[in-house]
Amino acid sequence: MLSEKLLSKMNEQITHEFFSAHYYLAMAAYFTKEDLDGFANFFIVQAEEERSHAMKFFNFINDQGEEAVITGFKDPKIDFKSAEEIFTLALEHEKLVSSLINELMALAQEEKHYPSISFLQWFIDEQVEEEANMSKLLSKVKRVGEKGHGILMLDKEMASRTFTPEAE
C-alpha cells in the first residue's frame, strides 16, 4: 500500500521515464540523420533503458496493490544542432531526473515507507551512473569536435552498446 501522495509521485515518475525514452529517441533520430549510427545506437539503447525504468515503477505500484496511471506528455525537442548540444541537454535531463528521484526518496523516508525506500535506492545508484555517462560523453564530444576523425572514432565506440534487460 502507498499513501496518496507517494502513489501520485510514483505515477508521475512513470510519465517522466517514458518521456525520457521519447526524448532520447528524438536524439537518436538526429544522429541517424547525420549518419552517426553509433551515437544513434547509444540513444536507442538509452531509450530502451528508460522504458525499463518506467516499467519498474509500473510493476512496483502494482506489487503494492495500487493502480498505475498512464498519462501522456509534451512533445520532446527535435531541432537539435550538434552532438555537443545533445549531450549538454541529455546531462541536464539526467540531473532533472536525479532531482525527481531524490524528492521521491525524501518523501518515502518522511513516510518511513521501507519498501519504497528499498525500491528507490536502485534508482539513486542508477542516476549516479547515468549522470556520469552523459558527463563523460559530453567532455569527449567537446574534445573531439563535431567534424573529422575523432567524432567517427567515438561513433564507432558507441556502436557497441547493447541493451540487457535485467532479470526480475
Residue ranges binding ligand FEO (CB under 6 A): 17, 20, 50, 53, 94, 97, 130
Nearest-approach distance from CB 153 to ligand FEO, in angstroms: 25
Spatial distance between the Cα atoms of 74 and 80, rounded to a whole number of angstroms: 17
Instruction: Give the CA angle between residues 104, 107, 110 to the nearest 5°.
Output: 150
Least separation, in Å, of the C-beta of 130 and ligand FEO? Answer: 4
CB of 93 to ligand FEO, least distance (A): 7
Cβ of residue 145: shortest distance to ligand FEO, in angstroms?
A: 26
- Closer CB to ligand FEO, residue 94 or residue 155? 94
Determine the residue with CB nearest ligand FEO: 53
Indicate the residue among 97 and 154 with the shorter CB distance to ligand FEO.
Answer: 97
Write the DSSP string, 25-80: HHHHHHHHHTT-HHHHHHHHHHHHHHHHHHHHHHHHHHHTT--------PPPP---
- 137 or 151, CB closer to ligand FEO? 137
**10, burial (CB in 10 Å: exposed 0-12, middle 13-18, buried 19+):** buried
Cα→Cα distances 52→64, 91, 149, Å: 18, 19, 34
Which is nearer to ligand FEO, 74 or 112 (by Cβ)? 74
